[in-house]
Chain A
Amino acid sequence: MKICILPPVGGTFTKYGDEHKGNFLLQTILENIRQKGGLDGVDLVVEKGYPVEIPQLERDEEFFATRSVGILKRLREICNTSRYDGILCNSSIDPGVFAGQMVGNYYKMPVVFAMQAAVHIASLIGERFSIIDLTDAMAQIDRRKVESYGLGHRLVSVRAIGTNDTETERLCHDFTVGTNAAGYQKIIDAIVTQGINAAEKERADTLLLACPVIQPFENEVRKGLDDAGYGEIQLIGEVSAGLEMLKAMVNMKILPAPRAFSGDHLKAKPEYR
C-alpha cells in the first residue's frame, strides 16, 4: 500500500529538518509509529506542504483559513499524480477537512484528516475523550470541529498547555541537539498534568494528542501517565490514528461518502438536507 502524508505547510516555514522528509517532529512521530509496527506493509512518502512564507505565531481561525487554501491546492496536485492509494492530511485542527474530502471524492482517492480519524478511534475504544492541544485559540477550534463531526457529546474537554507551536518546536529541537533538556521536560510535564486533570476532573477515559508538535512526546507522556497511576487511560496520537483509518479505508475500498461531502456534480442528490 502506497500512501502519503501531506504536512500542513512547507517551504521556508519548515525551519527544522529536511523538507523532503517532513520536519524532524514528523519524522519522530513516524519513527515511533514504525517501531510499533504501524507502518508494516506501508510504503509511506511525506509530500511537501504548501509553502507559507510569512509565519505568524497565532494559530487561530484566520491562520487556519489561510492554511486551508494551500492544503487543498497541494491535495489536488497530489491526487493528480495518481501515485498513492490514500492521503493523510496531518495538520492539527483539520483545516479544509470537508473540502479536502470532496477533492478526494473527485479523484476517487481516500483522504483522511488526522483529528477526524483520531476522534473516531477514541469513540471506538472509549466513551469520554479529551483533547490536549497547545493554545486556547486552537482548543476552541478543536471543539467546533469535533461538534461538526457529530461527536461533540463525547468530547469532555479540550485542554491547552499554553505554549505555541513555534516555541514547542524550538524546545524539542534544542533537546534533540542536547542544549535544553529542561525546556523539553517542561512540555512533557504540562501535557501529563493536563492529561491527569482531564482524567480526574472531566472523567476522560481516553486522551488525544492534537497538534503535531506535541505528538512526538507520546512515549514520554505515556510513561508519565503510567508512573502517576493512570495506566488505564488510553493515549492516541492523531497522526498514528489517521494512518490507521486511512489504511482501513484503502483496505475496505471505501471513500468518503460523496453525499456527505458533495458538490454540484452529485448524481443522487437528496430531496433536502
Chain B
Amino acid sequence: MKMVLIPPYKPVGSKYQISKEGPLAINEVIELITRWGQLEGVDLDIADAYPIENPVEDRDEIFLAEITPGFLKKVKEYSEMGKYDAIITNGSIEPGFFGAREISRIPVASGPHSAMVMASLIGERFSVLELKDAMAQIIRHYAQNWGVSHKLVSIRNIGVTSISMTRLLHKYKNKEERLRAPEVRAIIDKCIAQCIEAIERDKANVIILGCIPLQTYWEVIRQKLDEAGYEEIPLIIGVSAAIEMAKAMVNLKLMPSPKAYPTDHLKRPPEFR
C-alpha cells in the first residue's frame, strides 16, 4: 500500500525551515510508529509541501486561511499522480479538511479527525493537548463539524508556539540530550500537568496529542503518565491514527462519501441539506 503524507506547508526563508533530513518532527513521529510496526506493508512518502514565505509564529484562523489554498493544491497534485493509494495529512489545525476530501481522487485521512474517531471508538470522553489557545479554538470548531464535540471534554494547551517547539527540535537533534535540556523538561512538565488536569478535572478517558512537535514527545509523556498512576489513559497521536484510518479506507475500498463532501458534479444531490 503506497501512501503520501502531505504536511500543511513548507516554511521558506525561515530560520527553522525544513532541514536536509526533511521535516524533523514528522521524521521522528514516523520513526516512532515504525518501531510500533505500523508501517509494515506501507510505503510512505513525505510530500514536498506548499511553500510559505517567512511564516508567522501565530497559528490562528488567519494563518489557517492563508495556508489552506496551497495545501489544497498539493492534495490535488498528489491525488492525481496515480502513484498513491491514500493521502495522510498531519496539520493539527486541519487546513482544508473538507476541500481535500472533495478534490482528492483517493482516500484522505487527517491526523486530528482520525485521532478523534479512534478516541470515540475506544473511549467516551477525550481531551486534546495543543500548543496554544487559538489552535484549541480551531479544533473545537472542527470537532463540532465532525459531530464529536460532545465527546471532546476539553482542549488544553501548554502556551508554547509551534515555532518554539520546532526550534528546540533543531537545537537538540540528539533526543537524549533534548530530554535533558531544562527548557524541554519544562515543556514536558507542562504537558503532564495539562494531561492530569484533563483526566482529573475534565474526566477524560483518552488523550490526543495534537500538533506534530507534541507528538514527538509521546514516549516521555506516556512514561510520566504511567509513573503518575495514569496508565489507564490511552494516549493517541494523530499521524498514527491517520495511517490506520487510511489503511482501513483502502482495504474497505471506501472513499470519503461524495454525498458528504460534494462538488457541483454530484450525480444525485439530495433534495435538501
Interface residues of chain A, those whose CB is within 8 Å of chain B, are: 36-38, 40-41, 112, 116-117, 120-121, 123-128, 149-151, 153-154, 199-200, 203-206, 229-234, 236, 240-241, 244-245, 247-249, 251-260, 266-268, 270-273
Contact = CB atoms under 8 A, between A and B. Distances in A.
A124 B251 CA distance: 14
A245 B249 CA distance: 11
A270 B114 CA distance: 26
A245 B254 CA distance: 14
Interface string B216-252: 0000000000000111111010001100110111011
Given A128-B260, A247-B247, A254-B234, 11 more contacts: A41-B41, A117-B121, A123-B146, A203-B272, A234-B254, A248-B248, A251-B244, A254-B236, A257-B123, A259-B203, A268-B199
A87 to B, nearest CB: 14
A150 B151 contact: yes
Contacts of A38: 251-252
Contact of A259 (B117, B121, B123, B245): B123
B121 A120 contact: yes
B126 to A, nearest CB: 8
Interface stretch (B12-20, B171-179, B263-271): B263-271
B256 interface: yes
15 contacts: A123-B146, A125-B256, A128-B260, A200-B271, A204-B259, A205-B259, A206-B257, A234-B254, A249-B122, A254-B122, A256-B123, A259-B205, A260-B122, A267-B232, A268-B233
- Chain B's interface size range is 35 or more
B228 to A, nearest CB: 9
* Leading 10 A-B pairs by shortest Cβ distance: A205-B259, A248-B244, A257-B123, A126-B257, A244-B248, A205-B257, A257-B205, A258-B232, A259-B205, A203-B270
A260 B123 contact: yes
A150 B38 contact: no
A251 B37 contact: yes
A125 B255 contact: yes
Contacts of B120: 120, 123, 149-151
- Majority SS of interface residues in chain B? loop
Contacts of A232: 257-259, 266-268
Given A124-B117, A229-B268, A36 B252 contact: yes
A41 B40 contact: yes
Contact of B251 (A126, A153, A244): A244
Contacts of B109: 124
Interface in B84-119: 109, 113-114, 117-118
B248 A245 contact: yes
Interface in B12-38: 36-38
A271 B41 contact: no
A251 B41 CA distance: 12
A124 B38 contact: no
B268 A251 contact: no
A228 to B, nearest CB: 10
B229 A268 contact: yes
Contacts of A117: 121
A246 B6 CA distance: 26
A257 B204 CA distance: 10
Contacts of A244: 247-248, 251-252
B200 interface: yes
